[in-house]
Amino acid sequence: MENAVILCVDDERVVLNGLQSQLSRDFGNEYILEFAESGEEALELIEEFLQDGVDIPVVISDQLMPGLKGHQLLTKVHHLSPKSFKILLTGQSDLEAVTDAVNQANLYRYIGKPWEGTDLILTVREAIKSFYQDKQLEVQNRLLERHNRELEALVEERTVELRQEKEKSEELLLNILPNETAEELIKSGVSSPKHYDMVSVLFTDFKAFTKAASEISPQELVETLNECFTAFDEICDKHQLEKIKTIGDAYMCAGGLPVANNTNPIDAVTAACEISRWTDEWNQKRQTEGKTPWEIRIGVHTGELVAGVIGKRKFAYDVWGDAVNIAARIESSGEEGKVNISGTTYELVKDRFSCTHRGKIDVRGKGQIEMYFVVS
């Protein structure tokens, strides 16, 4: 993106040099990398970028700096560029500053210093991806909002046609959001996020997707992903799971929301096993056709989280909480062709499934987590 900037702020030049070295390898060809040695300098740069119409997907700031501290800077950045994703680097467990940044600056992540290069790159990549997804969704929502305004203007002279068009808009909303959430939005215009005590989150991811994607045309890539995700959608519907989103080749769904239930751990593991079986059969068919198989990892974790729609224009149903992060780590810590579940989920499904105990597995940022492979 020639017209997009990743801004890094730290009062220590050696830290900025380290950030430049790490980020330039993965993002230097697509994004402009800018660096500031103080919060004040960073704000001046941001104002210039905004005046020039430059996107600022990510701002990375150190916490301890002379003058503006990191959380104070990110709060000001949020007022200037609320759509930018903010990442805080901290050399100590300054929970008060982190909490303030979450509340006042809509903090995306905080990373302890010294950080792992891989973790930093993954965090920045996901932030950039989310920034442009939000931007695209905003355009779509503006179009939908304009469409609804135009329909309302025709209500007196085209009552029948208006009703038909509104039904189409509502059907689109019902296709994007869970029925309960969509109906709440249709009736009141808002939907409050809700806390759930027990939700089972399921992640899938294809192994070596980037390599496989480079071997086929973009059209074939999209058609292949669509074939897989359509099958996953049907399996989720069958087992009362709610599709949350797809990110590239990753698929995320959850059970136990928007209507809470006690069966979601069993529902999620059952769906995970069915997705695994479907993928095995699909890969066998691909091999007979001389095509490269797409091996899949699947992970499931059960815990509490918050789910809903935030804002008035960006109608996207999402989930937040540590359970989501752990579920993603469970998936990435698994093996191809196997369903990997956390110890928490295992305790809830052990009477229904045969599992192999893997022991405690080291998980980045989460310590050791008990894991099990589902056998049958």
**Residue at which a domain ends, from 158, 188, 218:** 188
Least confident of 129-133, 184-188, 274-278, 292-296: 184-188
> Residue 80 corresponds to which tokens in the numbers above?
């200037």
Are residues 294 and 282 both part of a single domain? yes
> pLDDT per residue over 79-125, tens digit each?
999 999 999 988 765 778 888 878 888 888 888 888 888 999 999 99
Is 1's pLDDT higher than 80?
no
> Residue 169 corresponds to which tokens in the numbers above?
């808009």
> pLDDT per residue over 183-198, tens digit each?
555 555 556 678 999 9
Spatial separation of the C-alpha atoms in residues 165 and 365, rounded to whole Å: 49
> pLDDT per residue over 59-69, tens digit each?
999 988 899 99
Give the pLDDT of residue 240.
93
DSSP state of 83: T
Are residues 270 and 347 both part of a single domain? yes
* C-beta of residue 252 within 8 angstroms of C-beta of residue 245: yes
Unique residue bearing structure tokens 């995970």: 272
Residue among 2, 7, 52, 58 at smallest CA distance from 30: 2
Are residues 164 and 222 both part of a single domain? no
Are residues 293 and 332 both part of a single domain? yes
Q: How many domains does the chain have?
A: 3
| Beta-bridge mates of residue 90 | 112
Is 312's pLDDT higher than 70?
no
Is 363's pLDDT higher than 90?
no
Is 317's pLDDT higher than 90?
no
> Residue 259 corresponds to which tokens in the numbers above?
């209507």
Q: Which residues contact 249 (CB under 8 A, 6 or more apart)?
A: 205, 206, 209, 213, 225
> Residue 255 corresponds to which tokens in the numbers above?
């059970």
| Beta-bridge mates of residue 314 | none
Unique residue bearing structure tokens 């009703």: 163
Is 255's pLDDT higher than 90?
yes
Are residues 124 and 136 both part of a single domain? no
What is the domain extent for residue 167? Answer: 132-188
Are residues 217 and 328 both part of a single domain? yes
**Residue at which a domain ends, from 188, 210, 226:** 188
Are residues 123 and 57 both part of a single domain? yes
What is the CATH number for 60? Answer: 3.40.50.2300
> Residue 61 corresponds to which tokens in the numbers above?
């700031």
- Report in angstroms the alpha-carbon separations of 319 from 307, 316, 324: 4, 10, 7
Spatial separation of the C-alpha atoms in residues 324 and 303, rounded to whole Å: 8
Are residues 253 and 299 both part of a single domain? yes
DSSP state of 80: H
Are residues 228 and 300 both part of a single domain? yes
Are residues 209 and 298 both part of a single domain? yes
> Residue 209 corresponds to which tokens in the numbers above?
């997707």
What is the CATH number for 299? Answer: 3.30.70.1230
**Degrees, nearest 5: CA angle 347-351-354:** 90
